[in-house]
Amino acid sequence: MGSPPHFYRFAGRWLPWLTGIFAIFLIVGLYGGLVMAPPDYQQGESYRIIFVHVPAAWMSMFIYMVMASCGIIVLVWRMKMAEIVLISSAPVGASFTFLALVTGSLWGKPMWGTYWVWDARLTSELILLFLYLGVLGLYGAIDDKRVAGRAVAILAIVGMVNIPIIHYSVDWWNSLHQTASLTKFEKPSMPPSMYVPILIMALAFKIYFVLALFQRVRAELLYRERNSRWVEELVQS
């Protein structure tokens, strides 16, 4: 997987399958969340935003961890593929962070009476968005892409301190934001008809991340490896 031509072909083969699997999970998840799940006894129908909000928020942190792990690989082993995966993850992560923030505020307006509060959860998630944008900006600003790769690796690793802050913010500080309704170790505070669609949507988003990443990695590989033989052969065949 470390070799660019191999990864390029591998990703190309898997893309149509991933897209199909994603579409199936998305449709099942949307149907489960919008149609099958009962209304909430307190929030009525408005809580249905949860089926996009929570999976998007999970992805915003998950993708950051993927990015930071690539950063460690870049610094320790100088692996070019890790640089490319790192920088290709950033726009997808930024998108999910943006979605978590916006769907959260669209949920906050009817339930809290405001689109935004400067509390720990919302602020740390906003900082996460800035970290993603910082990675993209820094990478774009440095012409030598090997140097750029190492610079964003350091930024991504340093920014990792923000992840536990986001996760525990609702326990550490007072917040309008509710605490986690789904955790790995405790019984969920909602019935299966509510949490199963959340998990299906989360799975759909994970598959989406892989396919969006593959798409970006392929485009980036062509550009970065434009002077190598395999790209020349590929383009001319």
Interface with another protein (CB under 8 A): 19, 30, 34-35, 39, 44-46, 48-49, 52-53, 56, 91-92, 95, 98-99, 102-103, 106-107, 109-110, 208, 211-212, 215-216, 218-219, 222-223, 226, 231-232, 235-236
CB of 185 to another protein, least distance (A): 28
Q: Which is nearer to another protein, 156 or 208 (CB)?
A: 208
Reduced to 3 states (helix: H, G, I; strand: E, B; else coil), residue 3 is coil
d(CA 102, CA 106): 6
Give rounded-to-5 percent helix, strand, coil for the chain. Answer: 80, 0, 20
- Which tokens sit at 16? 């149509």
CB of 171 to another protein, least distance (A): 25
CB of 91 to another protein, least distance (A): 7
d(CA 228, CA 163): 38
CB of 162 to another protein, least distance (A): 22
d(CA 87, CA 216): 9
Q: Which is nearer to another protein, 80 or 216 (CB)?
A: 216
> For residue 142, how many other CB atoms are within 10 A of its CB?
14
Give the contacts of 123 (CB within 8 A, at least 6 positions apart): none
Q: Which is nearer to another protein, 93 or 160 (CB)?
A: 93
CB of 24 to another protein, least distance (A): 15
Single-letter code of the amino acid located at 4 = P
Residue (of 94, 213, 71) closest to 151 by Cα position = 71
Q: Which is nearer to another protein, 174 or 227 (CB)?
A: 227
Q: Which is nearer to another protein, 6 or 109 (CB)?
A: 109
